[in-house]
Structure 1
Amino acid sequence: MTLFYPLLFLLLLSCPASHADSPLPVVKATPVLMKQIKVLAIGEGQVRDSLRLPARVDLDQQHVAQIGATVTGRITETDVVLGQEVRKGELLAILNSTELGLAQSAYLKTGSQVNLRRLAVNRAKRLLASDVIAAAELQERESMLNEADVDLRTATDQLRVFGMSDSDLERLSKEKKIHSFLPITASIQGTVVERNVMVGQVVQPADALFTVADLSHVWVVAELPEQQASWVRKGDEAIVTIAALPEEELSGRLIYVADMVDPNTRTVTVRMALPNPQRIFKPHMLATLLIRKQDVQGLVLPDSAVIRVNDSDHVFVETAPEEFQLRPVQLGIRYGNVRRILGGLKLGDKVVVEGGFHLNSERQRKELE
């Protein structure tokens, strides 16, 4: 057994040190390389973290209404076209519904039943006062009147669900004439942005026939990567630029930051409200949303100093004359050409801000050798 100990000892000596224990790479710069390098001491400055996101103009869902039929029927008339401005209550289409006619018929019948049974109750009260009938007879007729009242309330509620107003019900009760045509009207003032109906089409209550939107208010919507979700807050300053209107730059505040991550895109939705009185901004226009934080005092670093190694940020720090060490750093979001230092460097460290690429190439060449 002792014969194998020397071999095992040699194998241990030949094993490389673990990555965690290996020292940070140091590069010795040649005089020629030093001419291409610029070193700057780390200092403090006013920085404002910002984040730029692709975005789009969208409808303000608080000023949008989907309008449909309240009862099954066939469209007999509609003159509304896409882009038309409509007022609240304006007629969009007319619907002919057999179901509505049957509901009106039931309403009239139950109304007649209530009147007849109320007369029967009043007559029974007079007869009871004259000892012609027993009290049980009056109670039975009152019970029948209560049942008829329930049926009338049910029929009334059904017609209200179908869209008939109190004045419509009053006219129906007075005229006793069934009217199976139902108007479909705009529930808000705005622009018709969707029209999914034509004359002769049979529609259901679940169908969205028209979409009306108030385009004087729009949203700018962006998707924030979940890794940066904790960085953004409702009320943060936001600046939007529209691709079709590059000279327009508008500022505002975030009005919404989603509380949930979209499981398909791994993003969080953020929104900014945008006034649009002149209808300049069209829904689905492409935009850019810049989210900005308040100015803070902290260590800053020129973005030109950052070297990406193994998908992480590094910089070269001068440790001795003509010697530079590659060091990992934690940096904030880019603002202009400056990055805020979150970790890995301290005040006064001398960092290579120009020529880092050449130093990194020299480091890689030495490692290959």
Structure 2
Amino acid sequence: MERKVLYWRAPMDPSYISDKPGKSPMGMDLVPVYEDEQTGAPADTTAPASAPGESAGAHDIYTCSMHPEVIQDHPGRCPQCGMELVKKTVEQGAVEIVYTCPMHPEVISHEPGKCPICGMELVAKKIPKAATVKLTPNVVQKIGVRTALVEVYPLKRKIRTVGRVVYDETRIVDITTKIGGWVEQLYVDFTGQMVNKGQSLIDIYSPELVSTQEEYLLALQSKQTLGESRFPEVRDGAASMLTSTRRRLQLWDITEAQIARLESEKKVQKLMTIYSPQRGIVIDKNVFEGGYVKSDMPMYRIADLSKVWVDVSIYEYELPWVALGQTASMTLSYAPGKTYTGKIKFIYPYLEEKTRTVQVRLEFPNPDWEFKPGMYADVVIESPITMETLVVPDEAVIRSGDRNVVVVDLGGGIFEPRGITLGVEADNHFQVLEGLAAGDRVATSAQFLIDSESRLKEAIQKMLARRTSDGKEPAPAMPAGHQH
């Protein structure tokens, strides 16, 4: 007698059903399911449907000891290793109602409505709830189940990176003269030399400056002589000449002390001395004795090292953890064991495309001038992400790429895998945005074994739910999305 084929199914995915031979999405040949292999109620007998949340009774299934993902409702061999499938009696778990689109099965909602893709009305569908796993105390001890409390506390992260000491650009000055002349003498004659504020740097001879000093002395003498004139035009002319000449000297950066000396001594100063406006080191020198300097020529560049910058690079994903004013610590190889404290001064507004990093500028006080530009430093940025947030240990999270799962300890040896939404990661913890509450307990070890057992149960429940979805025991109704 010829056996009657009810349908074809995928060996690796029992939910994939077809009304004709072919291949599964994984490329495997579909296997036939025969009428005489189906067990249970006769075709004309209606089995009572399970109410949502109730058990549908015991069922026999067949699975592979080596490949628990292989599940069938009839005896046979494992399509992967060829081993005989073993019989297992299971209870169909609770079900829940969801709403899905007939044309777009990936659209799933817990409320009635319309499909956001095509606008069709969503249809109700029963699906098994997440399968729980019950373990005896002996099994819990054998597989080493440990749990941790889900709690609320300040989440912090340490960003470790390498930095480079550079000059503080706001503390660099160029020394120039506003009048051309010849260099008569250099008081600071090499790069790297330390200078103090007000220290003499260079003497310049400028014929134009000499002639202006002579004009000033003549204007001063004229004012003194004609200041008592009874003609206002004469008095005002002498005063105006003195004022304009004095103003010219001031614009050339001749100090009030130098002008006062010129007035008291009545003697023209042949040389003009340039002084350092700040304490620092000479990092650039462009003048030599006997040379000529122009009015727009930078003669020295002096950098103040009382504060320095440290430039570091952080990765793109670390950006949420940094902000202006945050504290950073630094260690240098030449001073092991010594830690220096600074702050984030500036975050560059662009990304280095090749390295996918952002440059961050730190500022450190350097009162003893021990930091030398060009030094490399190990930097740690301490970053509080939030004052209070719900966190879970990172070792408790099972990350599969498309979902994040934790195994929740419900008490009494019952464990439930639960999908959660994660935020940022720091301090060996994940921020939990959705799925857990403070006070929950989650497994931090052996959770992979528990999750695997739960997945097996869930797959079995889905298969059993299909078998009873129409109230009869024969072949399950083929889902529209899986008929071929």
- What TM-score, normalized to structure 1? 0.65
Flag the 1:65–1:262 CA change in 2: closer, same or farther, 3 A.
closer
SS in structure 1 at match of 2:417: strand
Which residue in 2 is equivalent to 1:129? none
- Please tell me whether residue 177 in structure 1 is matched to residue 268 in structure 2: yes
SS in structure 1 at match of 2:379: strand
Flag the 1:318–1:281 CA change in 2: closer, same or farther, 3 A.
same
1:150-195 per-position Cα deviation (integer Å, ceiling 9, x unaligned): 342232233233232334224434344352x332332233333x02
- Please tell me whether residue 149 in structure 1 is matched to residue 256 in structure 2: no
8 Å Cα contact 1:302/1:339 also seen in 2: yes
Alignment of 1:47-66 (within 5 A): 47=154, 49-52=156-159, 54=161, 55-60=163-168, 64-66=171-173
One of 221, 225, 239 as aligned partner of 1:115: 221
SS in structure 1 at match of 2:176: coil
8 Å Cα contact 1:68/1:208 also seen in 2: yes
8 Å Cα contact 2:154/2:384 also seen in 1: no
CA distance in 2 between partners of 1:306 and 1:208 (Å): 63
Flag the 1:267–1:172 CA change in 2: closer, same or farther, 3 A.
same
8 Å Cα contact 1:89/1:188 also seen in 2: yes
Which of 1 and 2 has greater Rg? 2
Which residue in 1 is equivalent to 2:436? 345
Alignment of 1:1-369 (within 5 A): 13-18=102-107, 38=145, 40-44=147-151, 47=154, 49-52=156-159, 54=161, 55-60=163-168, 64-73=171-180, 74-78=182-186, 79-97=188-206, 101-113=207-219, 115-116=221-222, 119-120=225-226, 122-123=228-229, 125=230, 138-143=231-236, 145=237, 148-173=238-263, 174-177=265-268, 179=270, 181-192=271-282, 194-199=283-288, 200=291, 202-205=293-296, 207=298, 209-215=300-306, 217-220=307-310, 222=312, 228=319, 232=323, 234=325, 236-242=326-332, 245=335, 247-250=337-340, 252=341, 254=343, 257-258=345-346, 262-265=348-351, 269=360, 271-277=362-368, 279-284=369-374, 285-293=376-384, 299-306=390-397, 314-318=404-408, 321=414, 324-331=417-424, 333-335=425-427, 337-341=428-432, 343-354=434-445
SS in structure 2 at match of 1:68: strand
8 Å Cα contact 2:213/2:268 also seen in 1: no
- What TM-score, normalized to structure 2? 0.52
CA distance in 1 between partners of 2:337 and 2:129 (Å): 47
8 Å Cα contact 2:421/2:432 also seen in 1: no
CA deviation after TM superposition for structure 1 residue 49, in Å: 1.3
Q: Bigger shift: 157-166 or 267-276? A: 267-276
Flag the 1:90–1:346 CA change in 2: closer, same or farther, 3 A.
same
8 Å Cα contact 2:146/2:443 also seen in 1: yes
CA deviation after TM superposition for structure 1 residue 197, in Å: 1.1
SS in structure 2 at match of 1:329: strand
Name structure 2 gaps, 5 residues minimum. 1-100, 112-126, 352-356, 460-484
1:221-251 per-position Cα deviation (integer Å, ceiling 9, x unaligned): 55676985686463x544323356553333x
CA deviation after TM superposition for structure 1 residue 329, in Å: 1.9
1:115-174 per-position Cα deviation (integer Å, ceiling 9, x unaligned): 336534634x3xxxxxxxxxxxx233334x2xx423422322332332323342244343
1:230-280 per-position Cα deviation (integer Å, ceiling 9, x unaligned): 86463x544323356553333x463x655xx63323968553434452x44
**CA RMSD, Structure 1 to Structure 2 (Å):** 4.8
Flag the 1:158–1:207 CA change in 2: closer, same or farther, 3 A.
same
Q: How many residue pairs get matched?
A: 324
Q: What letter corresponds to residue 302 of structure 1 in structure 2?
A: P
Q: What letter corresponds to residue 17 of structure 1 in structure 2?
A: E
Flag the 1:354–1:226 CA change in 2: closer, same or farther, 3 A.
closer
CA distance in 2 between partners of 1:56 and 1:202 (Å): 35
8 Å Cα contact 2:154/2:389 also seen in 1: yes
1:83-112 per-position Cα deviation (integer Å, ceiling 9, x unaligned): 323233223333344xxx324423432542
Flag the 1:329–1:37 CA change in 2: closer, same or farther, 3 A.
farther
Q: Bigger shift: 264-273 or 47-56? A: 264-273
1:333-368 per-position Cα deviation (integer Å, ceiling 9, x unaligned): 512x3445455421243434346678999999999x
8 Å Cα contact 1:244/1:286 also seen in 2: no
Flag the 1:295–1:325 CA change in 2: closer, same or farther, 3 A.
closer
8 Å Cα contact 2:415/2:450 also seen in 1: no
